[in-house]
């Protein structure tokens, strides 16, 4: 039986004039270690602004389907995006999406379990209101050059998905790329180039990739999926019952807030950690009749920003094939990626190198070996865990702080507290703190005291005393904090009360 034989009766049974809600689902749980030192555990690549432009990948992904309802009479845009992200990244994701004007609902993962559980909890959340909503699952680490063409492709894919198909977007290969998965194509389905999906093929060796490209019967797997929420849940029930059961418990036991929920830790951790490809898509060929699998061609300048060579390829190049970001001077350089984050970077006579500078780390790598950055970061975690996990500048729900200097028994930080924000009521077992106001006015709680200090004034927080810093003003508060003591780690914080719900559960 051909897929067209399945789709035609389903289409005839659909009620007329009922538009399908297109629900963007952003999968933003990846760590992105191959893009170290810009991408780190506490600020992974979906949240980084400055890789290609000044927009974070998360916000660029959220903007990708804006206006989708204009691309077909049977489409209705969901009022907000759904983003699945790690609990540690909750506040940064909320702030970025809010600042860019996107309404969002966050599904917060207490631990990383890969993309199949992430999409399953999203489907459960969506199906509670609209089981027939068409989910567009988009990883937050892609680049799309032509947003209009992308929306056209999604409208095409949604037409198949609303009839019960699970659709993946395929990209015609331009090279025998062994870092991508491939889609083996089946029968043609429509005039728009859609094909039946014959089989998923995992990342092949170079020789096999060359044969795939030469045959013309394979497309790259973009990792973007379009499927109704109820169809996905039915597939999960048949092919991944353990994942579905764990996700149901995690969703039912979640801690709910206005526009987000934190999945139950124990239940979600019990889910198998599998990708969408492995959990569902690769198994469809062995279970005919579960759901039609369709590949829709994507020709919109797609790219997977997995490593520094992909960033180099996407940026504008000069006449010597160099690509730069930030304050960079090149002399006799060729095929070089130079990324300066905080100071001048000078490259002289470099060839085929990635040079990436941040305030506390510099990466120099052969562009042909940038996949090995992940292995280097694994070693770094054991030797220099701070540089592996966080930047010198750290975002917090109340603002941010930046480490300026540190030595034996002391550390100096610059804190910026946003208007109306306040830190948790907390105490430390191992350090005392001095606060100097350089801009704005601070309200300080220290033990039983509460008082204001203004510019050029300071105060002292003794070891073991409960304290809190607040910004009662309408402009940002800037503080220089000098810590002194036997241990200065961020885990020496005992939160007694917190506006942002960060108390131990």
Same domain, 371 and 411: no
Give Cα 206 distance to the centre of its chain. Answer: 29
DSSP conformation class of 199: E
402-436: b or e for each residue (b if 16 or more CB lie within 10 Å)? ebeeeeeeebbbebbbbeebbbbbbbbeebebebb
The enclosing domain of 429 has a CATH number of 2.60.120.10
Beta strands in 260-307 (DSSP E): 260-262, 293-297, 302-304
- Give φ, ψ of 428 to 5 degrees: -130, 140
Same domain, 374 and 408: no
Handedness of CA 70, 73, 78, 79 (dihedral sign): positive
What pLDDT does 18 receive? 67
Q: Which of 266, 289, 304 is the endpoint of a domain?
A: 304
Among residues 467, 472, 468, the alpha carbon closest in space to that of 454 is found at: 472
Question: d(Cα 244, Cα 233) in Å, to the nearest integer?
Answer: 8
Same domain, 91 and 188: yes
What pLDDT does 504 receive? 63
Same domain, 253 and 319: no
Can you state the percent helix, strand and coil of the chain, rounding each to 5?
30, 35, 35
Point out the residues of the chain with pLDDT beneath 50: 1-17, 505
Same domain, 262 and 212: yes
What pLDDT does 73 receive? 76
Question: d(Cα 297, Cα 194) in Å, to the nearest integer?
Answer: 6
Peptide bond into 37 cis (omega under 30): yes
Question: d(Cα 162, Cα 169) in Å, to the nearest integer?
Answer: 15
* 217 SS3 class: coil
Q: Which of 358, 383, 408 is the endpoint of a domain?
A: 383
pTM score, two decimals? 0.88
What pLDDT does 385 receive? 85
**Consecutive H or E run containing 7:** helix 3-13
Number of domains in the chain: 3
- Give φ, ψ of 27 to 5 degrees: -95, 100
What pLDDT does 74 receive? 81
296 burial via Cβ count (<10 Å: 0-12, 13-18, 19+): buried
What pLDDT does 446 receive? 97
504 part of a folded domain: no
Instruction: Look up the domain containing 348 and give its range.
Output: 309-383
Give me the numbers of helices (H) and strands (E) for the chain, helices first please: 13, 31
């Amino acid at each position: 039986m051909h897929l067209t034989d399945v789709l035609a009766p389903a289409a005839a049974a659909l009620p007329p004039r009922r538009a399908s809600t297109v629900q963007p689902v952003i999968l933003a749980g990846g760590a992105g270690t191959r893009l170290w030192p810009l991408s780190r555990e506490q600020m992974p690549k979906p949240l980084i602004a400055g890789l290609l432009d000044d927009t974070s990948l998360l916000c660029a992904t959220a903007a990708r389907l804006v206006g989708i309802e204009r691309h077909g009479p049977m489409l209705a845009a969901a009022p907000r995006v759904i983003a699945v992200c790690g609990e540690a990244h909750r506040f940064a994701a909320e702030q970025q999406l809010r600042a860019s004007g996107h309404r969002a609902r966050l599904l917060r993962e207490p631990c990383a379990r890969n993309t199949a559980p992430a999409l399953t909890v999203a489907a459960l959340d969506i199906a509670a209101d609209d089981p027939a909503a068409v989910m567009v699952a988009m990883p937050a680490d892609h680049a799309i050059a032509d947003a209009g063409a992308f929306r056209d492709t999604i409208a095409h894919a949604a037409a198949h998905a609303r009839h019960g198909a699970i659709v993946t977007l395929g990209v015609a290969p331009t090279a025998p790329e062994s870092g991508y998965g491939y889609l083996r194509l089946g029968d043609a389905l429509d005039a728009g180039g859609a094909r039946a999906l014959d089989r998923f093929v995992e990342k092949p060796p170079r020789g096999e990739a060359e044969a795939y490209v030469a045959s013309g019967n394979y497309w790259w797997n973009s990792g973007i999926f379009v499927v109704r929420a109820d169809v996905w849940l039915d597939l999960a029930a048949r092919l991944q019952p353990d994942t579905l059961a764990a996700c149901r418990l995690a969703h039912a036991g979640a801690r709910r807030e206005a526009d987000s929920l934190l999945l139950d830790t124990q239940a979600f951790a019990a889910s198998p950690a599998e990708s969408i490809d492995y959990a569902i898509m690769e198994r469809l060929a062995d279970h005919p009749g579960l759901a039609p699998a369709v590949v829709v061609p994507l020709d919109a300048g797609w790219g997977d920003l997995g490593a520094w060579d992909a960033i180099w390829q996407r940026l504008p190049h000069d006449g010597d094939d160099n690509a730069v970001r930030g304050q960079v001077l090149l002399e006799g350089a060729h095929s070089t990626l130079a990324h300066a984050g905080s100071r001048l970077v000078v490259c002289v006579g470099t060839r085929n190198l990635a040079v990436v500078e941040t305030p506390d780390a510099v990466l120099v790598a052969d562009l042909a070996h940038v996949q090995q950055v992940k292995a280097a970061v694994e070693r770094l975690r054991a030797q220099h865990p701070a540089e592996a996990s966080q930047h010198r500048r750290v975002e917090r729900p109340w603002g941010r702080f930046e480490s300026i200097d540190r030595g034996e028994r002391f550390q100096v930080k610059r804190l910026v507290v946003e208007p109306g924000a306040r830190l948790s009521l907390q105490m430390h077992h191992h350090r005392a703190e001095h606060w100097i106001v350089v801009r704005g006015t601070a309200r300080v709680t220290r033990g039983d005291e509460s008082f204001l200090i203004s510019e050029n004034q300071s105060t002292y927080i003794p070891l073991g005393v409960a304290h809190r810093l607040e910004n009662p003003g309408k402009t940002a508060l800037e503080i220089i904090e000098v810590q002194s003591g036997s241990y200065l780690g961020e885990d020496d914080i005992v939160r007694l009360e917190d506006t942002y719900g960060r108390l131990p559960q």
